[in-house]
Amino acid sequence: MLETERLILRPWQASDYPAFIAMGQNPEVMRYFPSLLTPEQSLQFIEKVTKQIDQYGWGLWAVELKETKEFIGFIGLQPQPDLFEFTPCVEIGWRLAKKYWHRGYATEGARAVLDYAFNTLGLNKVVSFTATVNTPSEAVMKKIGMVKTQEFQHPRLPKDHPLCWHVLYEINQSNYSSK
């Protein structure tokens, strides 16, 4: 579990499921993904990330507001297998319900996750990637000190898909400074 000034990053709870399912069916939340998620796909995602948290002690944590205990999305780390030329690696990622956008929560939580990645886990590098059109997520990457290293075509998307082109950002332990 990680805490920031306004957030608690913690293991998933059954009470998070309805809000997360709703996020996966919201066209605005999912606009930079190839499709909406069915309720079953959302539950499978939660099961997968919960197993990763159990296995590694870290992962894509559920995020709640300290003040209200409301579930607002997820922020955390996940191992990336050998799918891309830059893998295997550890990726930082986030997804928040629309109601909580533009409040600095993704940046605040991601900074805490980077601090954990470098100062607790001792990782040497963390990456993040998204579709090139996902400028809000790219802005968070920049705010937390990540640097764009390349653009690439996602191997699981057709070359003519509007989300095929992605940007890769990286940050190394040597050039990380907690702020």
pLDDT of 24-49, one tens digit each? 999 999 999 999 999 999 999 999 99
Task: Reply yes or no on whether the pLDDT at 114 is more than 60.
Answer: yes
Q: Which single residue is written with the structure tokens 């293991």?
A: 11
What is the chain's mean pLDDT, rounded? 94
Q: Is residue 158 helix, strand or coil?
A: coil
Contact by Cβ (8 Å): 175, 124: no
Q: Which residues of 139-148 are buried (b: 16+ CB within 10 A; e: fewer)?
A: ebbeebbbee
Residue 167, strand partner residues: 130, 151
Structure confidence at residue 52 (pLDDT): 95
Task: Reply yes or no on whether the pLDDT at 175 is more than 90.
Answer: no
Q: Is residue 17 helix, strand or coil?
A: helix
Structure confidence at residue 16 (pLDDT): 98
Structure confidence at residue 81 (pLDDT): 80
Contact by Cβ (8 Å): 153, 165: yes
Domains, the chain, ranges and CATH?
A: 2-175 (3.40.630.30)
Alpha helices in the chain (DSSP H): 17-24, 39-56, 105-115, 135-143
Cis peptide before 81 (omega within 30 of 0): no
**Around Cβ 78, how many Cβ atoms within 10 Å?**
18
DSSP state of 67: T
pLDDT of 48-61, one tens digit each? 999 999 999 999 99
Question: How crowded is the C-beta side of 17, counted as CA atoms within 13 Å?
Answer: 13
Q: Cα–Cα distances in Å, from 41 out to 4, 23, 44, 144?
A: 29, 12, 5, 30
pLDDT of 122-164, one tens digit each? 999 999 999 999 999 999 999 999 999 999 998 888 899 989 9
Structure confidence at residue 156 (pLDDT): 85
Question: How crowded is the C-beta side of 26, counted as CA atoms within 13 Å?
Answer: 14
**Around Cβ 76, how many Cβ atoms within 10 Å?**
25
At 110, list the tokens. 């991601």
pLDDT of 63-90, one tens digit each? 999 999 999 999 999 998 877 778 789 9
Structure confidence at residue 139 (pLDDT): 97
Specify the higher pLDDT residue, 157 or 179: 157
